[in-house]
Amino acid sequence: MKATNETREDWLTRLYLTAFPNVARHIAKQGGSLDEAKDVFQDALVIYYEKAVAGNLQLTHSEQAYLLGIAKHIWYHQQQKQKGRVSEEILNFKDIAEEEFLQPSTNRLLRYLETAGQKCMDMLQAFYYDKQNMKEIAERFGLSGERSATVQKHKCLEKVRNNVKEKSLTYEDFCV
């Protein structure tokens, strides 16, 4: 996959906005937390991205269905390791493409993220989408060092998480 940074950023943002709510909903139904859903989705997105970049990606369904399938697979293996049991629902991948997909509203999501502040949004974008390292982020935002940038990024994420918890928001709250 050859793409400019802007194209890659748009692509990853679109994947996140369209696929994450379904992955999170699935994991919540399986008893998982929002943080577990984020971890599983990040792993699934990395696997998907690596396959796309390497040219080893052969989609037979939508990108969202593919990411959900990868996430289910990762979640299954995590649960198997933790509990030593197999869930029949997780093993049933044959109807992945036919599952109902919630479509999140980009405007709702962005308006909510903006409550964390512009500096937080810029910092999270620099880390997650621009793939800048902590040293570059520290320099860009005038922080004293990498550790300070790491702490600030963590505080931004916590601000968003706490807002979600305070308002008892669900994934459906961000969907049309």
Residue-wise pLDDT tens digits, 124-134: 888 877 888 99
pLDDT in tens, 86-123: 445 555 554 554 455 556 666 766 777 777 888 888 88
In the chain, domain spans: 5-98, 106-169
Taking the whole predicted model, whether its pTM rises above 0.75 is answered as: no
> Residue 154, exposed/middle/buried by CB under 10 A (0-12, 13-18, 19+)?
exposed
d(CA 156, CA 143) in angstroms, rounded, equals: 14
CATH topology for the 106-169 domain: Arc Repressor Mutant, subunit A (1.10.10)
d(CA 153, CA 148) in angstroms, rounded, equals: 9
d(CA 36, CA 23) in angstroms, rounded, equals: 10
